[in-house]
Amino acid sequence: MSLTKKIKIKTKKTVKKVSSKSKAKLKVKKGKLSELRQDLVSGDWVVIANSRGKRPDAFRATKDLTENSSEEDCFFCDPVASKQEKDVLIYNTADNDWSLRVFPNKYPAFSRPTGGKIQHQEEGPYFWMDGVGYHEVIVTRDHFERIGMMDNFKVAEIFDAFQTRYLDLMNKKSVRYIEIFHNQGKLAGGSVFHPHSQLAAIPVISPYLNLELRGAEEYYKANKKCVFCNMIEWEKDEDKRIIFENDKFIAFCPFASRKAFEVWVLPKDHQPYFERIEIEDKIQVGEALNEAIRKINTVLNDPAYNFYLHTSPCDGKHYSHYHWHIEILPKTSIWAGFELSTGIEISAIEPEKAAEALKDA
């Protein structure tokens, strides 16, 4: 069954007579019913648990006082002294200091290929392949200045580094996809306090991205239109979930938010490939990401969060139906039995209410 057919399925209504007293009770309860919302791209379901009735301030983070914020012995304040790998990219300032540098991860999840073909092996019913690729760290200079505190041009410089490394790695034999992500805070997997992002160039395409690619392709075939462009048009018309907008980018809480206060940042024009962005795009996406994170930090008291960039794979195929974007996920909840057993995430606040709080921040 196609994605569009699944979305259009309606259940039959059962008519049942109720007393005026019962109607009154139903009217009171109606606003508190939870909703199952379907992601327009992946087809995944999420639960918007209105019945839990949480207010925006209920998601404010409690500071982790054990998080080490000291500059002493910081691995990234002086990468040379801490014996990090040699820089593959460095941006210098006018006063001969550095503002950003990129170097291989000292403890990589993927090993750099040493030449030759990637080995594939079978063992009974199982299959495995060499975990080769490139795992790099993008580090900004200031130990305490996180995204959301920076000026927009510093964030634009980060995107310039993302693009530069992407272009350098995309044609490597072992690379089919490049994932760019940022873990802020221990609860989000940030093992080093110093602000940094990471890049992983790998030989496989992630299952989650494959879901998005298939969903976007099915939607395009059925509607002759990009699903992301359609979402942007609808969000602009509705104006209920948008938290920031400039000439080229828009930031909003998605209709089927998996997490409370989830935010997406997308280019308004149809752009399948992140690596093709121009200078003005970097400045404006830097501003949009900066504003979105600043608002999240203000409303949620500097929570841990992850953001990642999804773009078309660099495997030589055409993905004109896709639309690159950034997804920001604050750590407002943890998976428990229901989420783990079903794969359906629960958000305890409507994205419309989250967007209202963020917009006013």
Domains of the chain: 89-211+242-337+351-359 (3.30.428.10)
Print the SS3 string covering 274-323: HHHCCHHHHHHHHHHHHHHHHHHHHHHCCCCEEEEEECCCCCCCCCCCCC
Q: Where are the alpha helices (DSSP H) in 171-272?
A: 207-223, 227-238
pLDDT single digits (tens) 237-289: 999 999 999 999 999 999 999 999 999 999 999 999 999 999 999 999 999 99
Which tokens is 147 given? 């995204």
- pLDDT score of 60: 79
**Residue 151: Cβ-neighbour burial (10 angstroms; 0-12, 13-18, 19+):** exposed
Q: Alpha carbon of 311 to those of 70, 247, 285: distances in Å? A: 35, 21, 14
Under a CB-based contact definition with an 8 Å cutoff, are residues 286 and 148 in contact? no
Distances (CA, A) of 338 to 44, 119, 255: 15, 38, 21
Residues in the chain predicted with pLDDT less than 70, given as ranges, are: 1-32, 50-54, 62-68, 116
- The predicted pLDDT at position 67 comes to 58
How far apart are alpha carbons 323 and 217 in whole angstroms?
Answer: 11
